[in-house]
Amino acid sequence: MGHLRLSDCRKKFINVLPEQQLGEEHSSLDSFRKAVKIAPRNRKEFSLIVLTNENRILIGLKHRGFGKGMFNSFGGKLEKGEDPVVAACRELHEETGISVTVKHMTESKIGILHFTFEDDPVEMCVHLFRVNVSCCGHATDKADNAASEQILVDPLTIRGCDEITPEWIENFYHIPLHNMFADDSIWLTFVLASKKKVVLDGWFHFLAGGQEVNTIHHHFVDIKTDPKSELPKSETMTLEKRLFHRMHSKSIISPSPKEFNEAWAFSKVVKKSLRCNELDCIIDVAGGHGALAAILLITTAATRAIVVDPAQVGRDSVRKAWADFFPEKELRYRHECLRSGLPAELELALKATSRDRILVVACHACQHLSDETVKLSCKFGVHVCVMPCCQKDPSTGSSWKAFSKNVSFPIEQTMDILLAGKAMSWNTGQEAGVRYDVRIKFIDSKITPQNRVIVCRSSPNDGEVPRTEKSHRKLQQAYRRAHKRQKSFYDISKLVGMHPSLHLVGGFILGALTSALLFRTREKINADL
């Protein structure tokens, strides 16, 4: 790799150190060795892990030890007899909390860096790794990473230690090279800018004065790129991950990762159950931070979403973080109780659109809140989906609890069925001229054990016979059938050509004949004796 390309690469980095700090570049190891006149030195081994995710790099601010006050990648000294790969896994985990399998780390090795110093007889031999991770919303374990061949990292689980504080640099061209070791301006810029897998052997000889001076006297870098081997790619970011990332990069803690996952999974159920391209307005009851409302705004045709919640949760951070995901759409908060806030918003919404284009949602609303949400929404004849939590038996004498115990069925599910039943009942939605088709769907129980979503889809019953009327007709039919059966008994008499009134006479004659026959038989027996 020629001089030109190394220096060309670093031009793209805005904080690169000036050339005079980077020293003389050599085109061969021999030339470097001759210039430096390296005598046999005391060698110490280290690991160094460059951790990237797409165009981002995770670096750490060092609080103590070598390079204190500067940014650096992660790593440290090898313990006695320790394998460099194992040491890299250990150091990365210690300093960031990120777990990488030995197999993956082995594949991530990209070379060795040698550092020598004019004022120190120690030669530092640094085993270099480049780990490209995928970020996700779920914490994953080592086994998952091994199986998927990808290192999935939950950004919120990244943590530092007393030695170093990790920090994402959103665009690695902005990496603070001016506050890093001088050699990083040479080799790290090349490693980051290269789309191909790089293997390097780097030699850097520093002037006396340590990190205060941070100046290289001579360097030689042998870099090989394998044109065939692409860098292990970060997983293509799905919308879900992009949203999660955005939250994380803005350090938003409400919604929490769990709440985000719940909202995302809930929105998926909604989208599978309703015609989302026909929705206009979302009302998120007890929506708090508003993540569910915002996700539905982003992923459906709805143009407006209102979060009705008396509490102010998250200081509008969701809207600020995701605003560019729903341009020209409106996310509004109404800090009011659902009893007054929901009907008021429904009335407003109905002035602007039809009831079949309005959806009310409540994710993890407690029992009476879910009940009220369904009741009020059905009164207005709009679609409603709730994922209730803390379902208990409110009946006098806890009869449903007793029932659940008797049939070994959890009380929460019993209460869900009762709520679904209420929404399905004949008169629900009648006032608004709709009927409800009710389903109970599930989200992944790993996200939350309270994972049932009651989906109540309204559809107009204009021109349709009301359900009470229908059932009355069915009752009449049943009566008719029953009577027909009775009639069929008389029909047998028709078969033998007799009028039903002759049954009595026929029965009398039959009885008299039988008696006469019995009498004669007895007479005959007596005579024989």
CB of 216 to ligand 6U4, least distance (A): 9
CB of 214 to ligand 6U4, least distance (A): 9
Sorted by sequence, the CB contacts under 8 Å of residue 33 that are 6+ apart come out as none
Judged by CB, which is closer to ligand 6U4: 158, or 385?
158
* Contact present, 215 and 209 (Cβ < 8 Å): yes
Q: Return the DSSP state at 149.
A: T
* Contact present, 63 and 165 (Cβ < 8 Å): yes
Q: In the Cβ-directed half-sphere of 23, how many Cα atoms lie within 13 Å?
A: 23
CB of 48 to ligand 6U4, least distance (A): 4
CB of 246 to ligand 6U4, least distance (A): 30
CB of 186 to ligand 6U4, least distance (A): 10
* Straight-line distance from the first to the last Cα atom of the chain, in angstroms, rounded to the nearest whole number: 137
Judged by CB, which is closer to ligand 6U4: 86, or 418?
86
CB of 64 to ligand 6U4, least distance (A): 6
Judged by CB, which is closer to ligand 6U4: 162, or 491?
162
Judged by CB, which is closer to ligand 6U4: 179, or 414?
179
- Pick the closest to residue 310 from 244, 369, 376 (CA basis): 369
Task: Give the Cα separation of 185 and 191 in Å (integer).
Answer: 10
Judged by CB, which is closer to ligand 6U4: 188, or 420?
188
H helical segments located in 238-385: 239-249, 257-273, 291-299, 317-322, 338-352, 367-380
CB of 26 to ligand 6U4, least distance (A): 17
Task: Give the Cα separation of 221 and 22 in Å (integer).
Answer: 12
Judged by CB, which is closer to ligand 6U4: 126, or 363?
126
44 backbone dihedrals φ, ψ, rounded to 5°: -125, 140
**Residues lying near ligand 6U4 in the complex (CB under 6 A):** 46-48, 65-67, 72-73, 75-77, 115, 124, 126, 163, 181, 183-184
Residue nearest to ligand 6U4 (CB): 76
Give CA angle at 70 (69, 75), nearest 5°.
Answer: 110
Judged by CB, which is closer to ligand 6U4: 92, or 456?
92
Judged by CB, which is closer to ligand 6U4: 129, or 326?
129
* Contact present, 284 and 262 (Cβ < 8 Å): no
**Between the CA of residue 508 and those of 243, 491, 498, 511, 513, what are the distances in Å?**
92, 21, 15, 5, 9
CB of 180 to ligand 6U4, least distance (A): 7
Task: Give the Cα separation of 280 and 461 in Å (integer).
Answer: 21
Judged by CB, which is closer to ligand 6U4: 216, or 387?
216
CB of 207 to ligand 6U4, least distance (A): 13
**Between the CA of residue 350 and those of 179, 339, 479, what are the distances in Å?**
59, 17, 43
